[in-house]
Amino acid sequence: MSSRILSSTLRGTRQNRLNSRPVWKGQWVCQLCRSHGAARRAFSLSSSFSKQKPYYITTPIFYVNAAPHVGHLYTMVLTDILKRWQVLKGREAILCTGTDEHGMKIQQAAASFNMPPKEFCDRVADTFKKLAQEFNLSNDHFIRTTDEEHRNTVQLVWRVLDSNGYIYQSKHEGWYCVSDETYYPDSAIEKRLDPYTGKTFMASKETGKEVEWTSETNYHFRLSAFKDKLLQYYRDNPEFVVPSTRMKDVVKWVEDGLEDLSISRPVERLSWGIRVPDDDSQTIYVWLDALINYITKAGYPWTSGTETLEGWPADVQVIGKDIVRFHCIYWPAFLMALDVAPPKQILAHAHWTLGSRKMAKSTGNVVNPILAMQRFGVDVMRYYLAHDGGIVNDSDYGNDLIVERYKKGLQGGLGNLASRIMRPKIWSVPSVLAEARDGNVYNIGKTSKAQVDMLNTLRDRVNVKFDQLDPGGALQVIMDAVYETNKYLQSNSPWKLAKELAEPEGSPLGTTEDDKPLRDSTQARINRTIYHCAETLRIVGILLQPYMPDKARELLDTLGVAPDRRAYDDACLGLDFTYGVPLTLPGKGSWGALFPPLPVED
């Protein structure tokens, strides 16, 4: 059976599985395994099937109690860059994003608008979906927790957890935070003072959100049973959480002890959510519901041999630092209880601030990403967020900073270099490449040697940063190459040498036969400079594709780089001598440049 037919068959098999998921009753036995086992075994992957597991990366699913802001966009862009980097390297990759649509905050938000919760969710979820589309997110899945497929998976997971002995029912008393949708232990609570109202209130130490004392009967997950297993997993995978400072926090939280987790709410308090199987008086805890989305879209439940077909375990799950506890403690514990492998890594990035205060929908301290896009453009915003966005430390958003990065890095750096190499008619890039192919540009001096050394190591240095889950650091390496190349170009000033060759009278080059070696040496210097600058543009253009897909394509089109020569393996000095004739002619004047002047605000 060909790999194409096998892939098609497996996709069809999974769809059949999804369409036929039942609601289980009584003692849990997988009906799908009973009723479809024989047919599904016929399509199981054999041990000889060598297809590499797709790279699976996820954003958190975004809460739909209000419209998205730049902080959400940063998470999307960061995740998309990491996915596109894997695709650039030739690996199949899957990106999952979506919306979290259940819970008390949604119930309250919908009520405040006098709307049914589902209608409210439909409207807000659409704004997140459009945001992903507008900013060129290459997501393969957009999941909503109100999807029937997801509801079936959540109820299946509940039954498996219950069957495995990890769920019990009891009375629960504790501090509950509506905003965070979670209970906190006494050790995580402190009294705070609201500086604006003078009111004192009890709040979570971790998030600062107000909590209230609640007493109710609900279901619990035996989280405390996983303390040792989690700590062993952290020891075996010391880079499970990036950055390392947050890994240390996670280890300390678990070492300090774990309390069992309340995983349902009485329906009279929370009606908007997925019901507990066989108990309509309880609604499943929104965080258990939400976290399961990652395996819903990875095809859970799996049959033997198909576990990794759609990417699980996730290679990287990108989240904000405020939801570390849920993703780095609760989530791997749930998966261990299901006997499913945890994700390989969690990237917990820092926040964006505005006026040095965290962006938050609840306070209205936000930036509308669509308005920012309309002013600066999609790729400029992607570049800025990747360039300035923090992994360890928070970053303060500012339009003046976007303008500064644009003028220095894009317009004055990359755009200026492209214009200076591709627009002049005093040299021919294809002719220079022909000389380079014949080995006539390698008699290099000190400045060219530094340029060659930089280009020979550029791709690998960028890749190291990506291996460290640091796209911002990788972008800095790329842009440093652009800045150094502009200095190299200015230092060698080939336009001056070309002018001397064109007008030898009165110049030291002369026109006699005795002057030929000097003229040849000058032409060789021009060729070397243009070649190394053109190679910088080609390599940088390839490496920038995950960050600025459209602008990178425009740059490579202008250089004349063939579409099938734009992969990671092509991003090395001297691997392509076929470009130089533009596929798209460069524009004229400053407004026709790769990065034209920004429009002036009214």
| CATH number of the domain to which 408 belongs | 1.10.730.10
- How sure is the predictor about 185, in pLDDT bands with cuts at 50, 70 and 90? confident
Domain boundary among 324, 343, 376: 376
Nearest to 3 by CA among 309, 287, 253: 309
pLDDT for 396 equals 96
- pLDDT of 18: 37
What percent of the chain is modeled with pLDDT above 70? 86
Query: Are 318 and 427 in the same domain?
Result: no
- What are the tens digits of pLDDT across the range 230-260? 999 999 999 999 999 999 999 999 999 999 9
Sorting pLDDT into bands at 50, 70 and 90, what band is 155? Answer: very high
Q: Out of 6-20, 53-67, 153-167, 349-363, pick the least confident.
A: 6-20
Is residue 211 predicted with pLDDT exceeding 70? yes
**pLDDT attached to residue 22:** 33
CA distance 152 to 32: 13
pLDDT of res. 183: 73
pLDDT reported for residue 366: 86
Q: Two tokens at 166?
A: 């990890």
Residues 417 and 368 in one domain: no
pLDDT score of 17 more than 50: no
CA distance 21 to 24: 9
Q: Rounded to an integer, what distance in angstroms lies between the CA atom of residue 574 and that of residue 576?
A: 6
Of 349, 371, 367, 348, the C-alpha closest to 357 is 367
71 burial level (CB within 10 Å; 0-12, 13-18, 19+): buried
Pick the last residue of a domain from 376, 410, 435. Answer: 376
Q: Out of 376, 407, 435, pick the residue that ends a domain.
A: 376
Which of the residue ranges 21-35, 108-122, 137-151, 265-279 would you say has the lowest mean pLDDT? 21-35
List, in order, residues 6 or more apart from 212 with CB less than 8 Å away: 175, 176, 177, 178, 202
Does residue 40 surpass a pLDDT of 90?
A: no
Evaluate whether residue 34 is within a structural domain. no
- The CATH number that applies at residue 177 is 3.40.50.620
Answer yes or no: is 107 within a domain. Answer: yes
Burial class of residue 450, CB neighbours in 10 A (0-12, 13-18, 19+)? middle
State residue 343's pLDDT score: 98
For residue 371, the SS3 value is helix
Is residue 219's pLDDT more than 50?
Answer: yes
Counts of helices then strands in the chain (DSSP H, E)? 22, 19
Counting Cα atoms < 13 Å in the Cβ hemisphere of 201 gives: 16
Same domain (yes/no): 364, 468: no
Enumerate the H helices of 510-579 as residue ranges.
516-543, 549-559
At 206, the pLDDT band (50, 70, 90 cuts) reads confident
Judge whether 2 lies within some domain: no
d(Cα 14, Cα 298) in Å, to the nearest integer? 10
Q: Is 295:161 a contact under the CB 8 Å cutoff?
A: no
Least confidently predicted of 151-160, 182-191, 285-294, 410-419:
182-191
Quick one: 259 and 227 in the same domain?
yes
Is there a domain that residue 392 lies in?
A: no
pLDDT in tens, 71-112: 999 999 999 999 999 999 999 999 999 999 999 889 999 999
Of residues 507 and 312, the one with the higher pLDDT is 312
Statement to judge: residues 538 and 506 lie in one domain: yes
Specify whether 350 is located in the same domain as 424: no
The C-alpha atoms of residue 503 and residue 9 are separated, in whole angstroms, by 70
Q: What is the pairing mode between strands 189-193 and 395-396?
A: unpaired
- CA 436 to each of CA 111, 134, 522: distance values in angstroms, whole numbers, following the listed order: 69, 41, 15
Cα diameter, the chain: 101
What residues make up the domain containing 553? Answer: 399-592
User: Quick check: is 14 in a domain?
Assistant: no
Whether residue 226 is found in the same domain as residue 324? yes
What six digits make up the tokens of 582? 């533009």
Contact between 266 and 169 (Cβ < 8 Å):
no
Residue 584 one-letter amino acid: T
Q: Is residue 105 part of a domain?
A: yes
- Cα distance between residue 265 and residue 346, in whole Å: 28
292 inside domain: yes
Q: Which of 271-275, 354-358, 449-453, 583-587 has the lowest mean pLDDT?
A: 583-587
How many other CB atoms are found less than 10 A from the CB of residue 504? 14
If one counts the domains in the chain, the total is 2
Residue 221 and residue 170 share a domain: yes
**pTM assigned to the model:** 0.85
Would the pLDDT of 514 be above 50?
no
327 by Cβ neighbours in 10 Å (0-12 / 13-18 / 19+) ranks as buried
Q: What is the pLDDT of residue 243?
A: 98
**Cα distance from N-terminal residue to C-terminal residue, the chain:** 63
Cα angle for residues 227, 230, 232 (degrees, 5° grid): 110
177 inside domain: yes
Residues 355 and 427 in one domain: no
Closest CA to 61 of 263, 327, 265, 251: 327
pLDDT mean across residues, the chain: 87
Domain match, 361 and 478 both: no
Share of the chain above pLDDT 90, in %: 69
Whether 533 contacts 487, CB under 8 Å: no
Write out pLDDT tens, residues 383-431: 999 999 999 999 999 999 999 999 999 999 999 999 999 988 889 999 9
Domain check: are 323 and 409 in the same one? no
Clarify whether residues 228 and 278 are in a common domain.
yes
